[in-house]
Amino acid sequence: MKNQSNKESVRGTGNSAALCKFSSVKKGYYADPFIQYFVKKKEPVEPIMNRGFYMRVHAMDRLISQFLNANTDSSEGVQIIQLGGGKDTTFWRMRLSGENEVVNKLVWYEIDFPRTIQEKLRIISRVPKLQEPIVGWPKKALKKTSKGIELHSPDYHLICGDLRDTENLHKSLQEHGVNFEIPTLFISECVLVYVEPNLADKLLSYITETFKLPFLVMYEPTNPLDNFGKQMMTNLSKMGCPLLAIEQYNSIESQIKRFKKIGFNYVDVKNMKLLWDTLGKWEPENVDGQKERNRVIRLEWFDELEEWNMIMSHYFVLWAAKNDQISQEKFIKI
């Protein structure tokens, strides 16, 4: 993100993610009635990507639910801070599911570059269904700032920011009511890997130093050193969005070391290949895991098994918390 054109390419990855999520939903992998509004050109997406995005969303959802379940008794509620939220719709999906009571005591913050926030707000302003859960929409919720329009309703905030600028980020969060004492989940879904590693680490240190009960869920690519990994790195660099952090943190082991050093006392990581191989074993108790696995396998004709296994083994999901005693039970158990 050293120059604007590079920043624009990185910003564009938010649109690609929304397209793949939309396609995965359309093929029946999972339900999301909101993602359709965030996709302009509804181009076809390959089965391997549909299934990959199902796995990504499924793992993230599972960990977000576990965070909520673990904190249902937090009398002052909980917060989720989504770093680089792009066009993601998890805020609306959670409101709709009403799965967990604590959702009613949840304040959700999203931070992304100003242009992305403006685009997201323009879409919301055209779709009444997206406005429904936003208290005070539009007059009381929209605020003009020097960076652009932001959304500040009691439980949903869309903030224009740059994750590399920790000082300003802190000011914004403070100004908009973030409680530094209560359980707070940070979500980074394919985001920090695009940030220079020293600046990403600065942000992570800020989180452990400033928040009393921080949790973090991160989904990212890894293993850039084998042939497949090298190809993945080359393709993304050509598109103008190099995976900057992966050069320094190029394995799951190095990610664990990184988070421990930064002050997350509990860190666990699962390779997505393992989560795929054990799909059906880490779902909530009320879900018939085997049935879910069979359902997903039958959704699309799929003959790229080798490539599928390769892709899965190049992604991981990480779960970290500062307070290790309250965290160990909460991660995906296989």
CB neighbours of 250 closer than 8 A, spacing ≥ 6?
222, 223, 224, 225
Q: Is 315 in the site for ligand SAM (CB under 6 A)?
A: no
Q: State which residue, 90 or 255, has the beta carbon closest to ligand SAM.
A: 90
Q: State which residue, 17 or 217, has the beta carbon closest to ligand SAM.
A: 17
Q: State which residue, 105 or 120, has the beta carbon closest to ligand SAM.
A: 120
Which amino acid makes up residue 67?
F
**Contacting residue, 32, 88, 201, 220, with ligand SAM by CB under 6 A:** 88
Which of 132, 150, 133 is closest to 141 using CA atoms? 150
**Contacting residue, 32, 59, 84, 102, with ligand SAM by CB under 6 A:** 84
Residue 156 is classified by DSSP as E
Q: Is 232 in the site for ligand SAM (CB under 6 A)?
A: no
Neighbours of 62 (CB within 10 A): 18
DSSP of 98-161, one letter per residue?
--SGGGGGEEEEEEE-HHHHHHHHHHHHH-HHHHTTSTTTTTTTEEEETTEEEEE-SSEEEEE-
Q: Is 10 in the site for ligand SAM (CB under 6 A)?
A: yes
Neighbours of 278 (CB within 10 A): 14
Q: State which residue, 10 or 124, has the beta carbon closest to ligand SAM.
A: 10
Provide the minimum distance between the beta carbon of 26 and ligand SAM in the complex, in angstroms, as a whole number: 16
Q: State which residue, 17 or 320, has the beta carbon closest to ligand SAM.
A: 17
Tokens of 75: 């009398």
* Burial environment of residue 6 by CB neighbours within 10 A (0 to 12, 13 to 18, 19 or more): middle
Q: Is 85 in the site for ligand SAM (CB under 6 A)?
A: yes
- Measure the CA–CA gap between 9 and 1, rounded to whole angstroms: 9
Provide the minimum distance between the beta carbon of 323 and ligand SAM in the complex, in angstroms, as a whole number: 25
Cβ atoms of 254 and 318 within 8 Å: the answer is: no
**Contacting residue, 106, 158, 195, 272, with ligand SAM by CB under 6 A:** 195
Whole-number Cα distances in Å, 282 to 58, 149, 330 = 10, 40, 11
How many residues belong to the site for ligand SAM (CB under 6 A)? 22
Q: Is 216 in the site for ligand SAM (CB under 6 A)?
A: no
Provide the minimum distance between the beta carbon of 112 and ligand SAM in the complex, in angstroms, as a whole number: 4
Q: State which residue, 239 or 334, has the beta carbon closest to ligand SAM.
A: 239
**Contacting residue, 9, 13, 166, 184, with ligand SAM by CB under 6 A:** 13
Q: Is 113 in the site for ligand SAM (CB under 6 A)?
A: yes
The secondary structure of the chain in percent helix, strand, coil, rounded to multiples of 5, reads 50, 15, 35
The residue sitting closest to ligand SAM, measured at its beta carbon, is 84
Q: Is 243 in the site for ligand SAM (CB under 6 A)?
A: no
Residues of this chain, 136-175, that bind ligand SAM according to CB under 6 A: 162-164
Q: State which residue, 26 or 164, has the beta carbon closest to ligand SAM.
A: 164
The CA-based dihedral angle spanning residues 125, 129, 133, 135, taken in that order and rounded to the nearest 10 degrees: 40
Residue 221 is classified by DSSP as E
Q: Is 194 in the site for ligand SAM (CB under 6 A)?
A: yes
Q: Is 34 in the site for ligand SAM (CB under 6 A)?
A: no
- Measure the CA–CA gap between 45 and 123, rounded to whole angstroms: 22
- Please tell me whether the peptide bond between 214 and the residue prior to it is cis, using omega within 30 degrees of 0: no
Q: Which residues are at the interface with ligand SAM (CB under 6 A)? A: 1, 10-11, 13-14, 17, 84-86, 88, 111-113, 116, 162-164, 189-191, 194-195
